[in-house]
Amino acid sequence: MKFTSGSFTACLLATLLISSNASVSMAAYIFAVADVTVPTDSIVPAGVDFGSPGGEEVDKSIDNLLGDLNQYTNLAGAGSGFDVDGFFDTRFVSGISFFTSASDPASDPTSYQLHGSNGGPFILIASGSLSLPAGRNVDNTTEFSQTVFFLNTTPYDVYRVIFPTVNGGPFLQIGEVELIPEPSSLLLAGLGLASVAAFRRRRVQR
């Protein structure tokens, strides 16, 4: 799994746990929930869909891998995106990280919309412009990305990400998209684990 530079809360909590002599597995747990999607989640194209070249289908947008063979391309370009329904069930999402593809920056999205649904119509949660870095993620050794945060007070079962505009090219290409959970959930989980670790340490020291 890739960890976004924007997931400050997750990094802070991992540091807290390690400094509290918590186990590495506890810190790893906090990192793991820094992205609510996993590669096995149900994901389908959404919005305008003209299909994808072989090997660049929609599932590549949440496969936790970067590179030329691990990017999502939609030949429709502007207006394309995806719906993802995964293990997170009804979880708050209050941020998204967008990782660049390995291809031409002209195919980068320049705006986004995030919608949520609990079985009914999709509700717009957040939208805005994007300015992805020029650096290309040609493999997993780089993580060129942009992270946006927003207020979301409702948890949803299904999230829809749409890219209304692209950077002048005919296609949409994105290396990876990560949905970041609501920070207070991470904070509470981290503090709880840190408290347990501190309690256990005190008992051992007695």
Instruction: Please give the mean pLDDT across all residues of the chain.
Output: 80
Output the CA torsion sign for 1, 101, 5, 177. negative
**Mean pLDDT on 28-38:** 61
pLDDT for the residue numbered 140: 86
**Mean pLDDT on 128-149:** 94
Residues 85 and 161 sit within 8 Å (Cβ to Cβ) = no
Evaluate if residue 56 carries a pLDDT over 50.
Answer: yes
Is position 190 within any domain? no
**Mean pLDDT on 43-60:** 97
More confident residue, 181 or 50: 50
pLDDT for the residue numbered 206: 53
Is position 98 within any domain? yes
pLDDT for the residue numbered 1: 39
Evaluate if residue 26 carries a pLDDT over 50.
Answer: no
Q: What digits encode the pLDDT tens for the residues 72-104?
A: 999 999 999 999 997 666 688 999 999 999 999
Is position 13 within any domain? no
Residues 137 and 67 sit within 8 Å (Cβ to Cβ) = yes
Is position 33 within any domain? no
Query: What is the extent of the structural domain holding 125?
Result: 39-178
Is position 134 within any domain? yes
pLDDT for the residue numbered 194: 46
Residue 142's pLDDT band (cuts 50, 70, 90): confident
CATH of residue 84: 2.60.120.260
The pTM of the whole model exceeds 0.85:
no
Evaluate if residue 31 carries a pLDDT over 60.
Answer: no
Is position 10 within any domain? no
Evaluate if residue 58 carries a pLDDT over 70.
Answer: yes
Task: Indicate the number of domains in the chain.
Answer: 1
Is position 43 within any domain? yes
pLDDT for the residue numbered 191: 44
pLDDT for the residue numbered 17: 39
Highest-scoring range by mean pLDDT, 143-147, 178-182, 196-200:
143-147
DSSP codes of every residue in 85-131: E-TT-SB-EEEEEEE--SS-GGGSBSEEEEEEESSSS-EEEEEEE--
